[in-house]
Each structure stands twice: as structure tokens, then as C-alpha cells.
Amino acid sequence: MSKIRGSWSFFFKMKRRRKRKEKEALWGHYIPGLALLTVAMIAAGTDTSSGTMEWAMSLMVNNPQVIKKAQAEIDVRIEKGRLLDESDINKLPYLHCIINETLRMYPPAPLLVPHESSQDCAVGGFIVPRGTMLLVNVWGIQSDPKLWDEPTKFKPERFEGLEGTREGFKFMPFGSGRRGCPGEGLAMRVVALALGALIQCFDWERVDEKMVDMSEGLGITLPKAQPLEAKCRTRSSMLNMISQL
């Protein structure tokens, strides 16, 4: 009897051990993958999105007529006194143009990320052997006077009628193809929501007569050399809503 009981307990012990091993194999495989994915999303998604917001606000503070036009669009499309939400973003094409124009002038990944040619090819008359590291100068393409009218001017209107964030290969702030940015949809929503709310709720102006310094600093995601400083005042139409927050 004790022999039988002993073999049953051995059987259950083995079963438990096998289950534990299976669980470890499953999570041991997934946890490093999940951790890496989370780190990649945070690393690739934070400075790029916040930098775009800062460049966009700086450009708008230097071009107050753009803020007025964006506010007029929001006031017409969204009921008075209600804070815009994600479902409103598609109703705001001019806001979308502002973000595109910001990404054209100040792409957070000016050279995309390094790619490698998978086979021999020729680009613009240059022979590129297989396995060559390729850097795409998106900043150069998006500021090229042969492709853009007055490329150094902030003109969101140039994107009117463009749906999405690609115009052939002359505008591709999120890269292109299989290794293009997987966070594009999220980034465009987050940036539009934040900028839209800032414009809807506040009037913005420069701290003094001087234009906001638009020099580029050093860093991977094209930061501003000087952080933006600006003055804001709550818009009378939003006072009630903001006081209830």
C-alpha cells in the first residue's frame, strides 16, 4: 500500500514539475520579448512625439495667423465648451496640415534609421553593393527647393488635400515599407489630441517681441536647441470647462 501511495505521489510531483517547466518555458520566452518591446516603444515613441509638439507650438507662436486659423476650425467643428476628443481628430484637416508641415521641416528621425541593401542595386547612378548600410536623408529631401516651394517657410496649407502622412518619396517622416514606423497611427493621434487641446483652450503668444529661436540642437531626435517659452491665456469660451477639471 505504501509502495502504491509512494508511486502516486511521485507521479503527481513529476506532473507538477512538468507544468512548472512548461510555464517557465512560456514566460521565459515571452518576458524578455515583452520587456524589449516596451522599451522600444518608449524609446522610439516619447521624444519623437513630444519633440514634434514642441516644434509645432514654436512654429505656431511665430506664426499667430496659423493658430487663429486652427482655432477657427476647431470652433466651427466642435460644440462650444466641449474639450475635443479622439473622435474629433478626423474633423480637423487643418490641424493635420500643421502637424505634417512640422514633420516636414523638423523630422524627428532626419536620417530615418540605418537600413541595409538586401541585393546589389543602382540608386541615382550609384552602384550600391548588397549589404551596404544606407541612410536616407529625409531632412534633405523634405527641404529640397527642387521639390518644395519655399521649403524654409512654414506653410501648413501646402498639405491641404493630402490624406495621411506620405507624399510619394518626397514626404516620409515615418519612413517607408516594412521597417517604417509602426507607431505612426498612435503618434499622429497623440500629437493631434495634445496640440488640438492646447489650441482650443488657450490663446498663445511670444514672451516678447523676439521670434522664438528655431535652432536645432544636438541629439538623435532633432531636439530644439532652446526649449520653447510662450505665454498663454485661457480662451473665454473654454473658461467654464477648464474650471470644472
Of 180, 217, 219, 227, the residue at the interface with ligand HEM (CB under 6 A) is: 180
Backbone φ and ψ for 160, nearest 5 degrees, come out as -60, 135
Nearer CB in complex with ligand HEM: 45/93: 45
Strand 202-206 relative to strand 115-116, pairing: unpaired
Q: Is 36 in the site for ligand HEM (CB under 6 A)?
A: no
Per-residue cell: 26: 512560456
Instruction: Convert residues 51-80 into a mask of x (bound to ligand HEM by CB under 6 A) and - (unbound).
Output: -x----------------------------
Sign of CA dihedral 126, 130, 132, 135: positive
Closest C-alpha among 71, 87, 51 to residue 197: 71
Query: How far apart are the C-alpha atoms of 144 and 2, rounded to whole Å?
Result: 86
- Cβ at position 163, least distance to ligand HEM in Å: 17
CA nearest neighbour of 170 among 134, 146, 139, 141: 141
Cβ–Cβ under 8 Å, residues 75 and 102: no
Candidate residues 92, 156, 159, 175; the one interacting with ligand HEM per rule CB under 6 A: 175
The one among 82, 179, 189, 233 contacting ligand HEM by CB under 6 A: 179
Binding ligand HEM by CB under 6 A: which of 156, 173, 196, 223? 173
181 in contact with ligand HEM (CB under 6 A): yes
Residues in contact with ligand HEM by the rule CB under 6 A: 40-41, 44-45, 48-49, 52, 103, 108-109, 112-113, 173-176, 179-183, 186-187, 191
